[in-house]
Structure 1
Amino acid sequence: MHLSYARGHSDIPLLDETIGTALRRTVARFPDREALVVPHQGYRATYAELWREVDQAARALIAHGVRAGDRVGIWAPNRFEWVVVQYATARVGAILVTINPAYKAGELRHALNAAGVSLLVLARGFRGTAYLPLLDEVRGACPALRETIVLEDDWSRFLDDGDMVSEHELVAREFALRPGDAINIQYTSGTTGAPKGATLSHRNILNNAYFSGLRAGYSQHERVCVPVPFYHCFGMVLGSLACIAHGACIVVPGESFEPATVLATVEAERCTALYGVPTMFIAELDEPGFDLYDLSSLRTGMMGGAPCPVEVMKAVRSRMHMGEVAIVCGMTETAPLSTQTTPDDPVDKRVSTVGRVHPHVELKVVDPETGETVPRGVAGEQCTRGYSVMLGYWDDPEATRRAIDEDGWMHTGDLAVMDDDGYLSIVGRIKDMIIRGGENIYPREIEEFLHALPAVADAHVIGVPSERYGEEVMAWVKPAAGASVSAADLVAACRGRIASFKIPAHWRIVESFPMTVTGKIQKFRLRELAAG
């Protein structure tokens, strides 16, 4: 009997270095090649120019009292400064806390306090939301936060402060760092509970970036269009860091995703690779005038973050010239990738599976009840082990123990099937986490918010299939006695108080819920009723 276990190749050794060291080496190899292009800000930098700005920002962080291990938050959409801060914090050993640009006041407060952020770099706002009033609302409740730097107002002065710190001081700090040091906290719903800070090391994310690019065939000639957000592993690790690891150019089409802008940027910048969750590719293919864009420079890219429909994958390969596009799969807690298709894989495997195990990583599929590894072709929970598994959830050892077992296996919560050739297919999730267009949403967080509304007696949230987003959020709500409530009322109550992607798209106002004999809500029945 062939069991559902696979170990990735290890013929190419892991990088045993820090992110700063990797960047330094790439700069030395390709100083005059373009490293970062951000058309919406009129920004272009070669590797030598990017290094100088990162160097200045790193010394400015030291000037502002940032020590190794301090948490520096960044709350901004995709901008060139985001990338500069990413590498400046890595060089001084500060732990970068990436904060979702869509967060509202309560979510911001949770992230700042849970990570103990002492310095916050932020934009003025995003998509009509002004950040400074939200920050003012929570700042008194965030005792660790001592300083903020607003990109549009303070960036130049901040960089100037780097003159107060010598290059020798920065280099001494940088070379005291170790590859296993924590360098990044990303907030994720994980496999259980409310958002937790997945803590990742230089070794975790640098190697995952390096091997993802290696599998995609990246070289210094790649120009990678990255419309996915930098606050997420997809943008920060597979986008920015994978380019740095291979000397490629990062092309940022906009602060956030707009399909026409992405297509125009690919054409103007002659991009060779394009990233996105399936929703993004669907929107690009549906964009009016799609056929007028010259996408002939495209060769490859990465699609992940949600289940990738086979027909969409076929259209991307044929209509967008992305014959070598990879399907990638993983989670923030595994830095992120565990599997990836390659250009050499058979076409049917590249459009219908999430590929095979990554180098230096182990995968197994286990019976969720017994923990025993199941035979090939049988569904079970996917578990991952290796260098990529996070250090743990920040300041939450109990949640860490629930996620990573004593043998080092990260229990992903994904239901997967491994075929006879070692290719993995994701068939569902054990837990209730919803993945909407690449965003991880945990129902409990929304339920708790709805429960706080006076007109709501009880609420339960599920994910329902969506052609556009993979899944959408649906809320079943029981009104409080004597209260009258509509879907429009509930949407209005959510708007501005929870991130827009978490606001349910579908509502069902009910008098009762299907329950077990012991009084537990049967969420599977809610899904069945929703489908009916």
Structure 2
Amino acid sequence: MSGNEGDDSSTAAPSYTHGTSTTPLLGDTVGANLDRAVAAYPDRDALVDVPSGRRWTYAEFGAAVDEVARGLLAKGVRKGDRVGIWAVNCPEWVLVQYATARIGAIMVNINPAYRAHELEYVLGQAGISLLVASLAHKGSDYRSLVGQVAGKCPRLRETVYIGDPSWDELTAGATAVPRKQLAAAAAELSCDDPINIQYTSGTTGFPKGATLSHHNILNNGYWVGRTIGYTEHDRVCLPVPFYHCFGMVMGNLGATSHGACIVIPAPSFDPAATLRAVQRERCTSLYGVPTMFIAELNHPDFATYDLSSLRTGIMAGSPCPVEVMKRVVTEMHMGQVSICYGMTETSPVSLQTRMDDDLEHRTGTVGRVLPHIEVKVVDPVSGLTRPRGTAGELCTRGYSVMLGYWNEPEKTAEAVDPGRWMHTGDLAMMRQDGYVEIVGRIKDMIIRGGENIYPREIEEFLHAHPKIADVQVVGVPHERNGEEVLACVIPRDPADPLTLEELQAYCDGRLAHFKIPSRLRILDTFPMTVSGKVRKVELRERYADPAG
């Protein structure tokens, strides 16, 4: 819909809601919260690494975290120092996460897919003094890549490699640090201290380092887990990457804040390894983006795995097709599966579906606001709150909003307004019941002759066309109207592609005239980011010239 369709602001409720709860926020640091879990559940499983067969009870996990924390102290790491983690999913990643939090060091997540120039940027921008890295993964020799950039990063004192004698040296160093020194370091920490920097991937320019506190991520992990009913009896299978909030906050902290068990199925996503881990460890919860669940469901041996232990899980990252959700609920036994919406800058989750929500709410919305968080939908130009049922920019406020972008106050001020509202850049519509639909990105919005056009609405309409396998709609320059609507289509049958006349005839009388595409491109594939999202900016640039 356009910005003004269906708008009767005199009667419609405003697109604002906040999550209430009689349960207070946690005031702990991550380390103190882990201590509570260790005391309450010492003999229950805390961490299982299926590939190596290693496992830790909570008592053992707490001791292993303290050993790494004391090892870091022995290497001179102190509160506020930045420790990089550049590794695939493995137990050591989790130990470093909790050990750095234990002493107040700021852990900097580095994407394992980064190449030398990206690594150099993050090492320099965050001022990392100690780096913990994998040795190799998928053809990347991490030691060689570090060697290429170390000389350009003067603050980097040392690199510790997982699975290498340097890791053993780190843990052995714990013997030189008395336990009372670790306790003294922990006593100096506030829950509002920064402990994590996560670099957000941008389509242009270098990524920005979202800086998060104990309070941000511990509470978000706790509330995401609480919303799907986690207890000490849950076992959470995590094929999603730890370097992202999905793995380390919703996964790791979501589990340990409830005494549940973290299960690592593989270093990176592998559908067979994931299914095997669920069966072997009797997991009750499974995480993933929709494409992961599709890969698992379509695995040739899917029917041979016993997934009856599952009851819940989290799907996030992009909308879930209805048919996929039906299969996840029935064939994977995940009747209480939850959809989450968020962004790194908000720790990450703001909206989540509930365990008893129906299929339509789980596939048509991204849920409703979590406790202790506010959300609103505003006019992107005026900033005024929109009436429910009309589109605008989604904003969120509360404990989850980041401290800021590391050493980038100007960029922080662009994202977080003086009222502490985080502007997500997402276009959303709040329903009358408070559930929220994401309808696109502000940067994707097309303004044609003064009319706001949301590409996702047109894309969803065109998906029903029998000749269209997939479609992306973008705005391209137009001399008179400012922008015009371009549909980029992957045909079901390349031998019988859609024509512009057929497309326009299909839309005529069913879409407002200004939303009907005036241009069409037939493509084999769409340009994608490394995380699997379509690069609309590239489509816009590529086809800006009608003759191009």
* TM-score, normalised with respect to structure 1: 0.83
1:361 to 373, 394, 397: 373
* Cα separation, 2, equivalents of 1:230 and 1:178: 24
What is the Cα deviation at residue 513 of structure 1? 5.0
2:393 to 381, 384, 394: 381
2:88 to 77, 88, 95: 77
Q: Which position in structure 2 is the counterpart of 1:44?
A: 55
Counterpart secondary structure, 1:217: coil
User: Is 1:164 equivalent to 2:176 in the alignment?
Assistant: yes
Counterpart secondary structure, 2:314: strand
2:544 to 507, 514, 517: 514
Q: Which position in structure 1 is the counterpart of 2:208?
A: 196
What is the Cα deviation at residue 270 of structure 1? 0.6
What is the Cα deviation at residue 308 of structure 1? 2.0
Tell me, yes or no, if the aligned pair for 1:191 and 1:431 is still in contact at 8 Å.
no
What is the Cα deviation at residue 62 of structure 1? 0.4
| Bigger CA radius of gyration | 2
2:136 to 125, 147, 170: 125
Q: Deviations over 1:375-419 (max 9, x none)?
A: 111111100000000000000000000000011100001111110
User: Is 1:241 equivalent to 2:247 in the alignment?
Assistant: no
Q: Deviations over 1:311-365 (max 9, x none)?
A: 2222211111100000000000000000001113234212321110011000000
Q: 1:466 to 1:381 in 2, by over 3 A?
A: farther
Tell me, yes or no, if the aligned pair for 1:222 and 1:272 is still in contact at 8 Å.
yes
Q: Which position in structure 2 is the counterpart of 1:137?
A: 148
2:35 to 8, 24, 32: 24
Tell me, yes or no, if the aligned pair for 2:444 and 2:536 is still in contact at 8 Å.
no
Q: Which position in structure 2 is the counterpart of 1:412?
A: 424
Q: Which position in structure 2 is the counterpart of 1:437?
A: none
Tell me, yes or no, if the aligned pair for 1:211 and 1:359 is still in contact at 8 Å.
yes
Structure 2 unaligned regions, length at least 5? 1-11, 446-485, 492-522
Q: Deviations over 1:275-329 (max 9, x none)?
A: 0011100111111021111111100000001222222222211111100000000
* Cα separation, 2, equivalents of 1:240 and 1:60: 22
Tell me, yes or no, if the aligned pair for 1:276 and 1:302 is still in contact at 8 Å.
yes
Letter in 2 for 1:112: L
* Cα separation, 1, equivalents of 2:537 and 2:82: 39
CA RMSD between the two structures = 2.9
Q: 1:148 to 1:11 in 2, by over 3 A?
A: same
User: Is 1:277 equivalent to 2:289 in the alignment?
Assistant: yes
Q: 1:385 to 1:465 in 2, by over 3 A?
A: farther
Q: Which position in structure 1 is the counterpart of 2:304?
A: 292
* Cα separation, 1, equivalents of 2:60 and 2:487: 46
User: Is 1:91 equivalent to 2:102 in the alignment?
Assistant: yes
Q: How many percent identity over aligned positions? A: 57
Q: 1:509 to 1:56 in 2, by over 3 A?
A: closer
What is the Cα deviation at residue 370 of structure 1? 1.2
Q: Which position in structure 2 is the counterpart of 1:396?
A: 408
Counterpart secondary structure, 1:40: coil
Q: Which position in structure 1 is the counterpart of 2:322?
A: 310
Q: 1:421 to 1:121 in 2, by over 3 A?
A: same
Q: Deviations over 1:438-489 (max 9, x none)?
A: xxxxxxxxxxxxxxxxxxxxxxxx997999xxxxxxxxxxxxxxxxxxx9xx
Q: 1:52 to 1:513 in 2, by over 3 A?
A: same
Letter in 1 for 2:128: V
Q: Which position in structure 1 is the counterpart of 2:5?
A: none
What is the Cα deviation at residue 512 of structure 1? 7.8
Tell me, yes or no, if the aligned pair for 1:191 and 1:403 is still in contact at 8 Å.
no
* Cα separation, 1, equivalents of 2:323 and 2:539: 35
Q: Deviations over 1:120-156 (max 9, x none)?
A: 0001011111111111111111111001101111222
Counterpart secondary structure, 1:140: helix
Tell me, yes or no, if the aligned pair for 1:57 and 1:158 is still in contact at 8 Å.
yes
1:113 to 124, 127, 130: 124
Q: Deviations over 1:164-218 (max 9, x none)?
A: 0010000010011000000000000369853000000000000000000000000
What is the Cα deviation at residue 431 of structure 1? 2.5
Counterpart secondary structure, 1:57: helix
Q: Which position in structure 1 is the counterpart of 2:364?
A: 352
Structure 1 unaligned regions, length at least 5? 434-461, 468-486, 488-493, 516-524
Letter in 1 for 2:95: V
* Cα separation, 1, equivalents of 2:332 and 2:489: 26
What is the Cα deviation at residue 368 of structure 1? 0.7
Counterpart secondary structure, 1:384: strand
Q: Which position in structure 2 is the counterpart of 1:207?
A: 219
Q: Which position in structure 1 is the counterpart of 2:270?
A: 258
Tell me, yes or no, if the aligned pair for 1:367 and 1:374 is still in contact at 8 Å.
yes
Q: 1:503 to 1:279 in 2, by over 3 A?
A: closer
Tell me, yes or no, if the aligned pair for 1:240 and 1:250 is still in contact at 8 Å.
yes
Q: 1:106 to 1:193 in 2, by over 3 A?
A: closer
* Cα separation, 2, equivalents of 1:391 and 1:505: 29
Counterpart secondary structure, 1:20: helix
Q: 1:512 to 1:294 in 2, by over 3 A?
A: closer
User: Is 1:100 equivalent to 2:100 in the alignment?
Assistant: no
* Cα separation, 2, equivalents of 1:53 and 1:189: 32
